[in-house]
Structure 1
Amino acid sequence: MASFSYVIIDPMGKEKHGSMVGDSADKVTSALKADGMIPLSVKEQSLLTKDLNFDIGNGVKARDLSIFCRQFASILSAGVTIISALQMLGDQTEKKRMKNAIREIQASVEKGETLAQSMGLQPKVFPPILVNMVEAGEATGSLEVTFERMALHFEKDSKLKGLIKQAMIYPMVICIVAVGAISIMMTVVVPNFIAMFDSIGTKLPAITQFVVNISNFMVSKWWLLLLIIAIVVGGFIALRKNPASAEVLGRIALKVPLFGSLIIKSSSARLTRTLSTMITAGIPLIEALQITARTMDNIIVKKCLINASEEVARGVPLSKPLEYSGIFPPMVYHMINIGEETGNMESMLDRVADYYDEEVEAATKALTTVLEPLIIVILALVVGTIIMAIMSPMMSLYSSIEKA
């Protein structure tokens, strides 16, 4: 299944934009009409431009998907029908967005649509990998096994994302606290001492005058600082949305010490885990690669996998384009090559995924270990400079009083 963007007129006469997973534009159009919509345009989305992050901005996390799949598998194992299972899941689910999606899926299945087609109507809740896996499970009559497998997949994906977020958030929190502390010193503490020095006519040393100038700027031009921050953040967001600049940022991210290594290791874990899950379910390698590309956050990695799917379509072994890309570590393409030669691809992919899951965990700990003391040292230097700037004229004043 592919993902399609659409523009429709809803039953209330309002124009709406959205996306949907389906086999073709015609089938997506038919599904929209069946729901009472008037399709104005339906176009297949590019793998490089659509929003494929299912954790940010839509309220549905990998952990929520894992719980959904685990509960669905448990209910199906008891011999309950799909419609009844959806009814039970809708009643049990507390997350409003997930509950609404399940209700809509149930209504669609009751109209005669397959479960995969119905889930495909909710692309902001259910990612393509789950929709395609359910489609394969329906075709082989193994939905229960499929949901069990996807529950495990999302559990591991949730853990992987959690480790990465932990590595990113912890230094950010320390930096925010540090900036806050320094800002208070520069806008509250330093001005009080400046007033005292001015009242007694103390001559300020160069370092003190430097700190005073910065303090005066922060107090009088605080709005300019906020404007600069807003421009930088807005510019960064705009650059990420532009394909050309996003590619430049993606390449830079891969080369940043520690962070680049973490991105590569996490991408390797996600690539091998996702491919293993889909290949085991009987999904063709080319389609599996295209879906896996959508799960990647870094555009360079995403382009690499899109290129790999095109090479595989031409008959080239998967290990070759991964090797030539220069992105993935040798272990990834060497193990895939062994899997290709022995016909044991799923097992090799699982081993690589397990290995890089552990590597990501080790990398996040190493990142925290390096950044924490580094940030503390920088903070100590800045605070020490401010204290020295304050104490220097005070010591000079005390010295002159003693001499007098």
Structure 2
Amino acid sequence: MIAISEFVKSKIHYIIGAVILFALAFRQYYKTSKGRLVVDAVMLKLPVFGILLRKVAVAKFTRTMGTMLGSGVAILDALDIVAKTSGNKVVENAIYSVRTGIAEGRTMADPLQASGVFPAMVCQMIAVGESTGALDAMLEKIADFYDEEVDQAVENLTAMIEPMMIVFLGVVIGGLIVAMYLPIFKMAGAVGG
């Protein structure tokens, strides 16, 4: 513990500088088109948060798309607007591929399925909505379902964080206690022996 403390005290300027440089470099990389695509793809693949981000993206896409189609906006214009407001480059590219597919005369569900970003259930429900002519109503139903899924996922995540924090704090405090008292016990053993 003393060695760690001495190291941090002597190298704090370098540590702070390295953190600042890393943050600036990451920010510059994220501003590039390729960097944003890579970071957003990684974000969607994270174990817990990736699933949550994917559900948020699906809810946002279906809610906005359903509202715009219900208001009479042309489907290509609606897809263009939804893509720009997606907030994730991977989702944006998937929506643009849907837009391109529709411009070529294909259905909306096929490019969504091919993108791999949207769950199969969503693609099937959109296909049903397209075939029945009630795409806006189907998109609203999907959005309602995924809004509930997001709320449930956030609840589960907050419920999971609490025990993890308790375990983390227990390990840190236990480590500090062991690091502080172990030398005292060793000295007492050496003196007594």
TM-score (norm 2): 0.94
Matched, 1:300 2:108: no
Give the partner amino acid of 1:293: A
Aligned to 1:35: none
1:381 to 160, 171, 178: 171
Which structure 1 residue ranges, 4+ long, deviate > 4 Å from structure 2? none
User: What is the alpha-carbon distance in structure 1 between the residues aligned to residue 88 and residue 174 of structure 2?
Assistant: 39
List runs of 5+ in structure 2 lacking aligned partners. Answer: none
2:157 to 355, 360, 367: 367
**CA positional deviation for 1:249:** 1.1
Aligned to 1:279: 69
Matched, 1:333 2:159: no
Matched, 1:393 2:188: no
Aligned to 1:230: 20
**CA positional deviation for 1:321:** 0.5
**CA positional deviation for 1:242:** 1.1
What's the CA shift string for 1:30-63, capped at 9, x where partnerless?
Answer: xxxxxxxxxxxxxxxxxxxxxxxxxxxxxxxxxx
Aligned to 1:317: 107
What's the CA shift string for 1:164-185, capped at 9, x where partnerless?
Answer: xxxxxxxxxxxxxxxxxxxxxx
User: What is the alpha-carbon distance in structure 1 between the residues aligned to residue 165 and residue 41 of structure 2?
Assistant: 25
Aligned Cα root-mean-square deviation (Å): 1.4
Matched residue of 2:87: which SS?
coil
**CA positional deviation for 1:373:** 2.1
Matched, 1:259 2:88: no
Task: Work out the number of aligned pairs and report it.
Answer: 193
User: What is the alpha-carbon distance in structure 1 between the residues aligned to residue 33 and residue 156 of structure 2?
Assistant: 32
Q: If each structure's helix is expressed as a fraction of its own residues, which one has the higher value?
A: 2
2:59 to 269, 274, 290: 269
**CA positional deviation for 1:257:** 0.6
Higher relative contact order (CA 8 A, sep 6+): 2
Q: If each structure's strand is expressed as a fraction of its own residues, which one has the higher value?
A: 1
User: What is the alpha-carbon distance in structure 2 between the residues aligned to residue 256 and residue 352 of structure 1?
Assistant: 23
Give the partner amino acid of 1:283: V
Matched residue of 1:248: which SS?
helix
Aligned to 1:215: 5
**CA positional deviation for 1:284:** 0.5
What's the CA shift string for 1:279-299, capped at 9, x where partnerless?
Answer: 111101111011001111111
What's the CA shift string for 1:228-252, capped at 9, x where partnerless?
Answer: 2112211221121011121111111
Give the partner amino acid of 1:399: G
Aligned to 1:126: none
Larger-Rg structure: 1
List runs of 5+ in structure 1 lacking aligned partners. Answer: 1-210
User: What is the alpha-carbon distance in structure 2 between the residues aligned to residue 292 and residue 298 of structure 1?
Assistant: 11
CA 1:231–1:375: 2 relative to 1, 3 Å? farther
User: What is the alpha-carbon distance in structure 2 between the residues aligned to residue 293 and residue 358 of structure 1?
Assistant: 23
Aligned-pair identity (%) = 35
Aligned to 2:37: 247
User: What is the alpha-carbon distance in structure 1 between the residues aligned to residue 156 and residue 179 of structure 2?
Assistant: 35
User: What is the alpha-carbon distance in structure 2 between the residues aligned to residue 308 and residue 331 of structure 1?
Assistant: 17
**CA positional deviation for 1:212:** 2.3
User: What is the alpha-carbon distance in structure 2 between the residues aligned to residue 375 and residue 320 of structure 1?
Assistant: 43
